[in-house]
Each structure stands twice: as structure tokens, then as C-alpha cells.
């Protein structure tokens, strides 16, 4: 076998490997996209957003009486924005939030909100985990162990 023939054979093998890998990835994504997230009980989580009554990226959402959650400045997946919670009781110790997508692990991306002098809780800047596939996100915020979530959509 000549050197040229060897290189052609190597190129064909690499292309075949790439095709098998791409097909496997496609099948894996199809299988995982069909799975639905576990349903939270009303006692555990309050559902807002696209699947509920309020989208926190468009306006402040009341999740408990006189308590509001808001995402400020959400545009695209790679644009920084902020989150704000108002109306929390004085005795709240810890507030955090994280972002996820349905059927996709986003890794560790928790943001701790800081209490401000005006009694609001704020975190800024927030960068979403990189994802080029989808634009529908779920933000989950936790206040002293009790969780709430809202779905929202970013621009292309």
C-alpha cells in the first residue's frame, strides 16, 4: 500500500468514526428530549413562568403574598443580567438561584443573592451556562430551603 493510499484509508476511517459518533449523539438527544422533568408537589415548589402564570424575565412575579422575584435584563444566552427578590421577611438567612434546561445537565451554576440595605436580595451579573441548542430555561430560587421556579425564554 502506498503512502497516499494509507492516508486515504485513515481519512475514510476518521470520517466513519465521526459519522458513528454524530449518529449516536443524535439518538441520545432524541431519547433524552422525550423525558419529562419530575413533577414537584405544590407543597415543595411554586410553578411560575411559561408553564404557569408569570414569566420572571418579563415582569416581577409574586410567588408568596407580597414577595416578588424578577430577572432583569434577560436577552440572549450570552448576555449578562440580574435577579432581584423583594418582600422577604427579615429572618431569611440564605437565598440562591440556579438555571437548568429540560433534559440537559447544566452542571454547577448556583448564584447566591446578597441582601441589600433596601431589604431586597440581588445578584448580578448572571451568565447563563453555554447552550446553543435551546432557549427555554428554568430558574429555581431557594429561600431558606424552600424552592420555587419559573420558566423563561431567551432571544436567539
Higher pLDDT, 106 or 109: 109
Judged against a pLDDT cut of 70, whether residue 154 lies above it is answered with yes
- Grade residue 44 by pLDDT with cuts at 50, 70 and 90: very low
- Grade residue 50 by pLDDT with cuts at 50, 70 and 90: very low
CA dihedral 125, 126, 129, 133 (to 10 degrees): -110
> Residue 134: CB partners within 8 Å, gap ≥ 6?
101, 102, 104
Q: What is the mean pLDDT of residues 129-135?
A: 68
User: DSSP letter string over 88-145?
Assistant: --TT---EEEEEEBTTB---S--EE-EE-TTS-EEEEEE-PPP-SS--EEEEEEEETT
Tell me the whole-structure pTM to 2 decimals.
0.64
Judged against a pLDDT cut of 50, whether residue 138 lies above it is answered with yes
CA distances from 44 to 9, 28, 53, 65, 156 (A): 58, 31, 17, 16, 32
Residue 69's nearest CA partner among 51, 52, 93, 48 is 48
Q: What is the pLDDT of residue 103?
A: 67
Q: What is the pLDDT of residue 63?
A: 85
Q: What is the pLDDT of residue 33?
A: 57
Q: What is the pLDDT of residue 90?
A: 92
Distance of alpha carbon 138 from the chain centroid: 5
For 10-22, write each residue's pLDDT tens digit: 999 899 888 898 8
For 75-94, write each residue's pLDDT tens digit: 887 889 999 999 999 999 99
Q: What is the mean pLDDT of the chain?
A: 81
Amino acid at each position: 500500500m502506498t503512502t497516499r493510499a494509507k492516508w486515504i484509508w485513515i481519512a475514510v476511517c476518521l470520517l466513519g468514526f465521526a459519522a458513528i459518533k454524530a449518529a449516536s449523539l443524535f439518538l441520545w438527544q432524541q431519547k433524552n428530549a422525550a423525558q419529562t422533568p419530575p413533577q414537584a408537589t405544590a407543597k415543595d415548589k411554586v410553578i411560575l413562568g411559561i408553564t404557569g402564570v408569570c414569566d420572571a424575565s418579563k415582569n416581577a412575579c409574586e410567588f408568596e403574598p407580597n414577595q416578588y422575584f424578577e430577572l432583569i435584563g434577560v436577552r440572549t444566552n450570552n448576555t449578562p443580567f440580574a435577579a432581584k427578590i423583594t418582600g422577604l421577611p427579615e429572618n431569611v438567612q440564605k437565598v440562591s438561584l440556579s438555571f437548568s434546561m429540560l433534559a440537559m445537565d447544566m452542571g454547577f451554576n448556583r448564584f447566591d443573592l446578597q441582601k441589600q440595605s433596601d431589604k431586597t436580595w440581588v445578584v448580578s451579573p448572571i451568565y447563563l451556562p453555554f447552550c446553543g441548542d435551546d432557549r427555554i430555561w428554568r430558574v429555581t430560587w431557594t429561600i431558606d430551603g424552600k424552592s420555587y421556579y419559573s420558566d423563561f425564554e431567551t432571544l436567539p
